[in-house]
Amino acid sequence: MLKPYKVQKTPASKLAEGVLYLGDNGRCFCGKLRCAGMTAHFSGRDLSGQRVLTLSAASIKRHGFRCEGCGVTGESK
């Protein structure tokens, strides 16, 4: 006899929306699922397994970083 299917809860996001992050490959993205991707969004790591870095407001202002997916400039902490 088959066991009943157990519904899994969606894990919490490790990234905050509106904050900019930098991946190991130099890619800049915000915490939205469609911009960060599944791996970074739910684990805080990029596809190569490296932790993503949170960009500071000073770095964003100095270097003009913006999300490569949606273009947001971020409200970094």
pLDDT tens digits for 4-57? Answer: 888 888 889 999 988 999 998 889 999 999 999 999 999 999 999 999 999 999
Helix (H) or strand (E) holding 20: strand 20-22
Per-residue model confidence (pLDDT) at position 14: 95
Instruction: Tell me whether strands 53-54 and 28-30 are parallel, antiparallel or unpaired.
Output: unpaired
pLDDT of residue 73: 87
Q: Check if the beta carbon of residue 29 is closer than 8 Å to that of residue 67.
A: yes
In this prediction, residue 75 has a pLDDT band, given cuts at 50, 70 and 90, of low
- Where b means 16+ CB within 10 Å and e means fewer, 15-47 reads beeebbbbbeeebbbbbbeebbbeebbbebebe
- As given in the structure block, the two tokens for residue 33 are 């699922």
